[in-house]
């Protein structure tokens, strides 16, 4: 979440394809219908693929529910974490297509969410420039395109930031848990029960029942402050308390998934589960999130369940920049030429997985300098400030990013690739925070 002081620093156009990886098949198909053809993303036209069912319901158009979970790290039980802290999400992962190397667009909510809704880097969007960023109406968000296509669009949230964020563009229904306590340094609310109830109510709207729907539900409880919950205890450390929050949130995500499955339209609904960013527990002497672009902050889960598509793992790195074109593709709605990502639907249905470089963007705000991360193969550049002072890490050999590498041909090559990619970014200066924004060419000289 976009909380200015909670993310403490101390204890406190797409690039070329590379690094392809063949998917490892896991279990059998779900038996649900397939909603669109491989060769043309039109939901009204069904096609048989591996694991698909010939059910006549395959001819019906898809709905899409996007569930995002604040602060959800990539190291979850289905990815090897030893504690069974999320049984319902683990169950969902077993029947979904799992992206094992997925990246958020930034390291805190405001920038990450603005980016994936727009299909662009957050630094390319018109915004005021404050840490709790407000986005301008001139930005195009993908729900606006769904709305134009007569899709019912609804969203449920659990933090006061979303009241005046500008992120509500394109939503027919936009609701926030009421009576929230505001604290710009942390989050002291427990919201999953009320949020899940709002989501059920929105999904029961006649417009959802009778037509096509897109719903976005953002669960917030894993966010610091890690609140206690009766009957849940993994210990007393920060990570222990966070794990308890994951367990608590998992229950309500499971309840929402059960509700969706029980609706008449449930069998023709695709569900995407991901996170806006990760979290830190002492890595690089940092706690919570924001301000930096380390792997633990920007690698996130990405699970996609499409009716009729068999579960498996995809190891090729992917970015949340692909969410907008993916959702539009599932609806058969043309994407915007301004969106930078690519639809994941073809590869989820079994097509080749072309490799692409990954870019993560943390624009300058009232609270932080600009930083960007660029991933090319196993190498990662983290570049800071106007001068793009860069460090390079081999995240395969050094996953903790503890030992930057220097002076090799490979480091020179990736820095050159980053600078080339950087030149194509259309940075937009903030509209208001011109004195306070720290970098990116925004501070007055």
One digit per residue, the tens of pLDDT, for the chain of length 445 reads 544 434 433 333 333 332 333 333 333 333 332 233 333 333 333 333 333 333 433 446 899 999 999 999 999 999 999 999 999 999 999 999 999 999 999 999 999 999 999 999 999 999 988 888 899 999 999 999 999 999 999 999 999 889 989 999 999 999 999 999 887 778 889 999 999 999 999 999 999 988 899 999 999 999 999 999 999 999 999 999 999 999 999 999 999 999 999 999 999 999 999 999 999 999 999 988 888 999 999 999 999 999 999 999 999 999 999 999 999 999 999 999 999 999 999 999 999 999 999 999 999 888 888 899 999 999 999 999 876 789 999 999 999 999 999 999 999 999 999 999 999 999 998 888 766 565 444 433 2
Let me know the angle formed at the C-alpha of 232 by 12 and 85, rounded to the nearest 5 degrees: 75
The pLDDT of residue 15 is 35
Give 3-state DSSP helix, strand, coil % of the chain, rounded to 5: 25, 20, 55
d(CA 168, CA 79): 33
Q: How many CA atoms lie within 13 A of 415 on its CB side?
A: 18
Query: Which pairing describes strands 287-288 and 213-219: parallel, antiparallel, or unpaired?
Result: unpaired
Supply 160's token pair. 């006061």
Q: How many CA atoms lie within 13 A of 142 on its CB side?
A: 36
Bridge partners (DSSP) of residue 154 are 173, 215
CB atoms within 10 A of CB 57: 16
- DSSP class of residue 167 equals T
CB atoms within 10 A of CB 44: 12
Please identify which residue in the block is written with the tokens 């222990």: 240
Instruction: Give 240: exposed, middle or buried? Use CB within 10 Å, 0-12, 13-18, 19+.
Output: middle
Domain limits, the chain: 24-36+58-354
Residue environment code for 363-380, b if the CB has 16+ CB neighbours within 10 A, otherwise e? bbbbbbbbbbbbbbbebb
The pLDDT of residue 389 is 85
d(CA 106, CA 112): 5
CB atoms within 10 A of CB 100: 20
CA torsion, ordered 177, 5, 246, 180, to nearest 10 deg: -20
- DSSP class of residue 53 equals B
- DSSP class of residue 306 equals -
The pLDDT of residue 3 is 46
CATH of domain 24-36+58-354: 3.40.720.10
Please identify which residue in the block is written with the tokens 């924001």: 290
């Amino acid at each position: 979440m976009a909380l200015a002081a909670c993310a403490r620093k101390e204890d406190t156009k797409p690039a070329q394809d590379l690094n392809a990886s063949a998917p490892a098949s896991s279990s059998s198909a779900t038996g649900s219908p397939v909603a669109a053809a491989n060769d043309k993303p039109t939901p009204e036209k069904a096609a048989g693929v591996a694991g698909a069912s010939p059910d006549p319901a395959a001819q019906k158009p898809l709905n899409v529910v996007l569930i995002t979970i604040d602060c959800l790290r990539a190291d979850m039980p289905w990815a090897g974490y030893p504690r069974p802290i999320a049984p319902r999400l683990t169950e969902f992962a077993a029947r979904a297509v799992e992206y094992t190397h997925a990246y958020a667009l930034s390291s805190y909510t405001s920038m990450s969410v603005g980016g994936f809704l727009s299909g662009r880097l957050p630094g390319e969007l018109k915004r005021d420039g404050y840490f709790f960023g407000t986005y301008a109406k001139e930005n195009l968000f993908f729900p606006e395109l769904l709305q134009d296509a007569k899709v019912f669009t609804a969203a449920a949230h659990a933090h006061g930031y979303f009241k005046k964020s500008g992120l509500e563009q394109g939503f027919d229904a936009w609701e926030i848990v009421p009576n929230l306590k505001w604290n710009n340094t942390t989050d002291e609310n427990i919201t999953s029960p009320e949020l899940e109830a709002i989501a059920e109510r929105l999904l029961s709207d006649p417009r959802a029942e009778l037509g096509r729907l897109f719903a976005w539900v953002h669960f917030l409880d894993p966010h610091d402050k890690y609140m206690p919950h009766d009957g849940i205890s993994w210990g007393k450390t920060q990570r222990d308390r966070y794990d308890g929050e994951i367990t608590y949130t998992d229950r309500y995500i499971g309840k929402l998934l059960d509700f969706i499955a029980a609706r008449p339209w449930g069998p023709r609904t695709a569900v995407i589960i991901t996170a806006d960013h990760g979290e830190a527990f002492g890595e690089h002497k940092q706690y919570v999130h924001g301000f930096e672009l380390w792997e633990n902050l920007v690698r996130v889960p990405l699970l996609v369940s499409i009716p009729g598509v068999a579960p498996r793992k995809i190891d090729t790195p992917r970015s949340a920049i692909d969410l907008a074109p993916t959702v539009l593709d599932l609806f058969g709605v043309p994407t915007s030429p301004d969106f930078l990502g690519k639809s994941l639907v073809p590869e989820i249905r079994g097509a080749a997985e072309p490799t692409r470089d990954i870019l993560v963007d943390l624009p300058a705000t009232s609270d932080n300098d600009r930083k960007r991360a660029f991933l090319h193969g196993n190498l990662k550049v983290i570049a800071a400030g106007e001068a793009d002072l860069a460090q390079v890490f081999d995240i395969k050999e050094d996953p903790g990013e503890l030992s930057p590498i220097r002076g090799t041909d490979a480091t020179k090559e990736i820095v050159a690739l980053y600078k080339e990619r950087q030149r194509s970014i259309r940075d937009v200066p903030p509209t208001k925070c011109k004195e306070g924004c720290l970098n990116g060419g925004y501070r007055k000289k």
